[in-house]
Chains A and B, each alone.
Chain A
Amino acid sequence: MKLFEYQAKQILESEGAKVPRGIVVSEDEDVEKALTLAGLSPPLVVKAQVLVAGRGKAGGIKLANSIEEAKQIARNMLGSRIKGIVVRKVLVEEAIEHEKEYYVAITIDRAKRGAVVLASSMGGVDIEEVARKYPDKIIRRSIDFTKGLRGFEARAIGKQLGFKGKLLMNFTNLLIAMYKVMRKYDADLVESNPFTVKGDEIILLDARIIIDDNALVRHPELKKVPIRETGEFTEWEVKAREMGLTFVELDGDIGVIGNGAGLTMATMDLVSYYGGRPANFLDIGGGASSELVKKAVKFLLDFPKAKRIFINVFGGITRCDEVAKGIIAALEEARERKPIIVRLVGTNEEEGRSILEKNGIKAFADPVEAVKTVLSS
């Protein structure tokens, strides 16, 4: 789960990091009063609190030269949409005049089974692009998870960024605070892009924290963002999640259902290999009940992008008869008919096949033959 910028800044500030002075205003608050009382010194920046990437270019970050102008911008921004997402809160901050922008992040290091610090003196831009074009401009340092991030490691990174004296000490404190936040909140990522330097101080102009979804149960203090406001999912993906389906929308026209993430991806790839385009990824997982299969098939019957449906099941723990029953039940309740091609092998294959064939659906054993049939149907 991504946290909003203002949440990330509050958390990092509580561990000692420096952020610009500012306030958060919600759509149900009196913008006039809140900004009058806040006592901020212009110029100010008004930043929409939405979780979409590229909000700046989409009009979600604006400069104000006076309190009055900030009020005007905040009023207009609240309730408006940035890339389709409603702005519920804005962060109004004192603008920090600065020249240089840096990047720093701590994330999970899969390879070394620990954490990794990424830092660069080329901040403020898309860091993936920097990594591609100027790989030597990115400092990487793996952190042993048992030992944790230590001061000497932070100082070494600070030195590489060119920091000295008091500034080096402040950078060290920032990095240690970021690591502490990462561990305390089960974060996948703690990032500031950019931060800048004012005298001896380090100021975070932006901040981002992503919490491991599987750890949210351990953090009741973090309020869950409504799924529609996360900016991560399409309308149909939101619907699927609300129904408990593991679904990703793609651009093609062939609906795909598989059991298991790897097999479902391989099925999409197979469709594409033989010249088709998958409309989605829909994984019914292991040991799916007929009820779940029915839900999945009905969902794709409703999903307008899927003109044809290809169901690929390799029954191990999943029983083919359950799958077949689910498909038939979905078709009985469906408003719309679409060609459905089923490839079914494994546990209880015979029962599954006979259930389908009784209802006029051919069950293929060979996936390649099945895919070719989908493409010609």
Chain B
Amino acid sequence: MAILVDENTRVIVQGITGREGSFHTKLMLEYGTKIVAGVTPGKGGANVHGVPVYDTVEEALKSHPDANTSIIFVPARFATDAVYEAIDNGMKVVVVITEHIPVHEALEFVNYARSKNTWIVGPNCPGVISPGKTKVGIMPGHVFREGNIGIVSRSGTLTYEIAFTLTREGYGQSTAIGIGGDPITGMDFIDVLEMYRNDDETKAVVIIGEIGGDAEERAAKYILDTKYPKPVIAYIAGKTAPPGKRMGHAGAIISMGSGYYEDKVKAFTSVGVKVADTPFRVVEYIKELIKD
């Protein structure tokens, strides 16, 4: 198994002819991702690394009816339109890499997607990888390896760092998901934890959080309330971040009395989730758990 994406995933790349879209199409193909089509309005008929390009998702689906997942590299001004196009054409998973989408637009399409049973990953995220099966994102494939640890994260590079330490010590991953660094994202920790709960391949979950918002506190409550059956380890970035300052991600800001590092750590430890004090300690906790 694995969650969200696996060997049956067939991908459409929206914004495939752009610099980022084309570059990552190449890397995803090299990883083994089954990309069936690309879409860029006005560029129909072109070809990017052997992938046929269409003007619309609808047209792409006529020739590639097996497509079920979309990844969006479209610039912020046009990204929202691309998201709706993917949802209305029945994509089950839509990965939105694009940064700088207005919050109100994200609120609208995230609610719309949920009403249509489409999962939005992102915006402003590195995507999803199920190692050994498929990669629908921009993460470097070589740091991940097939295994039993599920990762869910608000960050990109920090995920690679932690995944790499796990991989090196022999702990592969079932799936790793970057849910995005914006205040509003299509999936939160709870949605992903729920999926890992039902995934036989996943034996333990690593949550990579950061300051800002209360997604970590809500995840902790969910773990307690639902008697979460799998061990969970957390790491939270931003212990030294000052209040009121946006730390790179739009969502990484302590404001209106919420988003503090200490509150998140307290929430997790109070429900029995160990919080690693450095990213490199995560693997130590995993070792202890697996040994038990």
Q: Is the CB of B184 within 8 A of A110?
A: yes
Q: Is the interface of B mostly helix, strand, loop or mixed?
A: loop
Given contacts A262-B210, A269-B238, A269-B240, contact A286 B157 (CB under 8 A): yes
What residues of chain A lie closer than 8 Å to B77, measured between beta carbons?
217
Pick from B76, B155, B213 the residue with the most CB of A within 10 Å.
B155
Judge if B46 is at the interface, Cβ distance under 8 Å. no
Of A127, A131, A188, A269, the contact of B278 (CB 8 Å cutoff): A269
Nearest A residue to B249 via CB reads A261
Q: Is the CB of A368 within 8 A of B107?
A: no
Q: Is the CB of A269 within 8 A of B160?
A: no
Q: Is the CB of A269 within 8 A of B237?
A: yes
Q: Is the CB of B158 within 8 A of A215?
A: no
What residues of chain A lie closer than 8 Å to B131, measured between beta carbons?
none
Q: Is the CB of B103 within 8 A of A261?
A: no
Judge if B198 is at the interface, Cβ distance under 8 Å. no
Q: Is the CB of B218 within 8 A of A111?
A: yes
Tell me the residues in window 91-134 of chain B with beta carbons closer than 8 Å to chain A beta carbons.
100-105, 107-108, 110-112, 114-115
Judge if A107 is at the interface, Cβ distance under 8 Å. yes
Judge if A316 is at the interface, Cβ distance under 8 Å. yes
Q: Is the CB of A316 within 8 A of B239?
A: no
Nearest B residue to A286 via CB reads B156
**Chain B residues with a Cβ closer than 8 Å to the other chain, count:** 61
Binds B, one of A55-63, A270-278, A291-299, A325-333: A270-278
Q: Is the interface of A mostly helix, strand, loop or mixed?
A: mixed
What residues of chain B lie closer than 8 Å to A212, measured between beta carbons?
102-104
Q: Is the CB of B157 within 8 A of A314?
A: yes
Judge if A49 is at the interface, Cβ distance under 8 Å. no
Contact with B along A218-233 (1 / 0, CB 8 A): 1000000000000000
Contact with A along B121-165 (1 / 0, CB 8 A): 000000000000000001110010000000001111111110010
Nearest B residue to A132 via CB reads B257
Of A132, A186, A213, A367, the contact of B104 (CB 8 Å cutoff): A186
Q: Is the CB of A265 within 8 A of B237?
A: yes
Q: Is the CB of A250 within 8 A of B210?
A: no
Nearest Cβ on chain A to B140's Cβ, whole angstroms: 4
Of B160, B277, B280, the contact of A316 (CB 8 Å cutoff): B160
Nearest Cβ on chain A to B251's Cβ, whole angstroms: 8
Judge if B181 is at the interface, Cβ distance under 8 Å. yes
Judge if B241 is at the interface, Cβ distance under 8 Å. yes
Of B235, B241, B250, the contact of A268 (CB 8 Å cutoff): B241
Contact with A along B65-85 (1 / 0, CB 8 A): 000000000001100000000
What residues of chain A lie closer than 8 Å to B140, measured between beta carbons?
315-317, 346-347
Judge if B208 is at the interface, Cβ distance under 8 Å. yes
Judge if B266 is at the interface, Cβ distance under 8 Å. no
Given contacts A110-B183, A262-B157, A265-B247, contact A281 B104 (CB under 8 A): no
